[in-house]
Amino acid sequence: MVRPELDIAVRQDASGETVVALRGEIDIGTVSRLTDAVEAALAEAPDRLVLDMAKVTFCDSQGLGTLVVLNRAATRARTNLILMNLGDFLSRLLNVTGLRQAFLIREERESPE
């Protein structure tokens, strides 16, 4: 069995936002790495923490639940967590589960390579 991969890159963009760019799968095998990365970014107390989901290829129920938990953690840290570049799959997933309104969502924009 091939182990799922999730590449995580954290950067500050020109507007001062902390951007966590994700590439791969968000599932039971990768959520702990995502949680660690977001918690480390929240420790820096950014005004906005953006999860760039443009290259996320899969998200299971564990991943979705983790996004909800991370959103709550950001709220407790007085930071806005923003989901960006959802794509069709993640957009439908949030709509079907009724969670779309629980998140701040930014319309798509080009993500740097």
- For residue 20, with 0-12 CB atoms within 10 Å meaning exposed, 13-18 middle and 19 or more buried, which class applies? buried
Question: Cα separation of 80 and 74, whole Å?
Answer: 6
pTM of the model: 0.90
Cα 14-15-18 angle, rounded to 5 deg: 90
DSSP 8-state secondary structure symbol assigned to residue 60: -
Mean pLDDT of 67-83: 97
pLDDT over 70 at 113, yes or no:
no
What's the pLDDT score for residue 2? Answer: 60
What's the pLDDT score for residue 45? Answer: 92
pLDDT over 60 at 111, yes or no:
no
Mean pLDDT of 24-35: 96
User: Which of 13, 63, 62, 18 has the alpha carbon at shortest distance from 38?
Assistant: 18
Question: Cα separation of 17 and 61, whole Å?
Answer: 27
Of the listed ranges 3-7, 25-29, 48-52, the least confidently predicted one is: 3-7
Question: Cα separation of 72 and 6, whole Å?
Answer: 22
pLDDT over 80 at 35, yes or no:
yes
